[in-house]
Structure 1
Amino acid sequence: MTAHARDTPQFYLTAPSPCPYLKGQFERKVFTHLVGDKAASLNDLLTHGGFRRSQTIAYRPACESCRACVSVRVCVSDFVWTKAFRRNRAFNRDLVGQEIGLQPTSEQYSLFRSYLDRRHADGGMVDMTVLDYATMIEDSHVRTGLVEYRRRGPDTAINGRGAGPLLAVALVDRLSDGLSLVYSFYDPDARDRGLGTHVILDHVARAKALGLPYLYLGYWVDGSPKMDYKRRFRPQEYLSATGWTRRAGE
């Protein structure tokens, strides 16, 4: 492969396949590879244009008769801490999130498998092996990191590390204007903690501490119960034909 081919993105279109979010619909995606020295800047540019990253691939829905998938991002500086969000943060104040670099472990994979089997048994990732998981974490040419969540330990104030079993994990990209949650998973037995919500709230706080204005949440799909939770994090901007626009009333 020539240097020109690696540095100049080539876009491809997938064949139609059943939509995982809307019953009876079919999806197509346009995608390109994120490789080479310009991968990070290309990922930044494409995320602003509504793409998502999966390993070394950036993709965006390109369905012929449906526009239900809408890219959304949370406005960090004006974020509304509702009573429910404040309760979640207070309840999980015994947790600490530690950035560990791109280091896949058997403990992470065990939690990942439990999460998939209990929460997404019919999803497209359910057959992922431990090698597939390691590739998902390690195969990246962009600025990304992994955050592990555990209970606070006796030495947390000193070393910043938690203790005890792993409760949640988040794979996160760092962009020029925000953080992008690529994928997260958590202990399905800790339902009272609301760990999925906690991970998002923690990254709102992380983005604010870094002086970044946005937290990218990927796609919200109108009509899909799986995606309803994303609308709770406000104010929010969505990507339309005219660019990023704040939702009315927010």
Structure 2
Amino acid sequence: MRSDRVRLFQTLPHTCGYFAERTAQNLVIDPAAPQLDQLYGPALERGFRRAGGHLYYPYCSNCRACTPCRIDVAHFAPDRSQRRCLRRNEDLQVVESMAGYNTERHALYERYLRQRHPGGGMDEADASDFRRFLTAPWSPTLFLEFRHGSRLLGVAVTDLCLQGLSAVYTFYDPDETVRGLGTYAILQQLALAKRRGLPWVYLGFWIAGHPKMDYKRRFRPLQIRTSEGWVEMPES
């Protein structure tokens, strides 16, 4: 991905989603670029992430806390807690489905946002918000659905590129927290990547010391992207 071929835009400052007292900015690959589908994989390799039809990278003037991270699929082995999570959810069926809107998914998405992210600006998401945030016409996306019988309990929005799999977003039944469906989603995405022969599962960004990001450290071996490229995160 060369700078003379791809235009990058910088967003205006906006409130940071992780530190309320900070402002944030992103670098965004030109959303009108005709080859976004071809750029996506190399952009993942460089630490970018997809949100809707945008490929972005946090680029804040006074903060570099957001660190791209990815799991080494071939060498991953679930720890004790993750094995318990798999056992708790043995009664679920995992269905690889075409990405897209339907009323069942939307109803679950709305319930999740209202209970898990109230007042966050997304908790009144209509059908167009669902499509705009979770899908893009150029993106190689599938939805991993987690079902108990006919009942939909969760959806892991998952992008598949040659460079690896990107865990874009997961939403699930907020009344089923004991199942640990967020962890279960990543475990199933790792299983999918292994079946597809993909080397990495990209988890977006990790922030040292942030309680909402700590769960990512438990998926080992985990790599983070530094100024020298991808390196394995130390155990401590």
TM over 0.5: yes
How far 1:35 moved relative to its partner? 5.2
TM-score by length of 2: 0.92
Pick one of 30, 41, 46 that aligns with 1:44: 41
Root-mean-square deviation (Å)? 1.7
Q: Give 1:224 deviation, angstroms.
A: 2.1
Aligned-partner Cα distance in 1 for 2:110–2:23: 27
Partner residue, 2:200: 214
State the distance in 2 between where 1:37 and 1:64 align: 29
Unmatched tracts of structure 1, length 5 or more: 1-7, 152-162
Q: Deviations over 1:100-158 (max 9, x none)?
A: 2123111111110111111111324223212211333443302111121102xxxxxxx
Equivalent AA in structure 1 for residue 220 of structure 2: R
Distance in 1, matches of 2:202 and 2:217, equals 12
Instruction: Give the Cα separation in 1 of the matches to 2:32 and 2:95.
Output: 27
Equivalent positions of 1:1-250 (< 5 A) are 8-34=5-31, 38-151=35-148, 163-249=149-235
Structure 1 residue runs of 4 or more that deviate by more than 3 Å after TM superposition: 33-37, 135-138
TM-score, normalised by the number of residues in structure 1: 0.87
Aligned length: 232
Return the offset for 1:41.
1.8
Over 3 Å counting, the alpha-carbon distance change for 1:248 and 1:227 in structure 2 is closer
Whichever residue aligns with residue 49 of structure 2, its letter is R
Quote the Cα distance in structure 2 between the aligned partners of 1:100 and 1:136: 18
Q: Percent sequence identity over matched residues?
A: 36
**SS of residue in 1 equivalent to 2:171:** strand
1:151-200 Cα distance to aligned partner (Å, 9 max, x none): 2xxxxxxxxxxx32110001111111211011110001011111111000
Residue aligned with 2:182, SS: helix
* C-alpha distance after superposition, 1:41-65 (max 9, x if no partner): 2011111111111121111101011
Consecutive unaligned residues in structure 2, runs of 5 or more? none
Q: Secondary structure at the match of 1:22?
A: coil
Comparing 117-126 with 165-174, greater Cα deviation is found at 117-126
Query: Which has the larger Rg?
Result: 1
Counterpart Cα distance in 2 of 1:16 and 1:36? 23
DSSP-derived class of the 1:167 partner = strand
- 1:65 and 1:36 map into 2 onto residues whose CA distance is 29
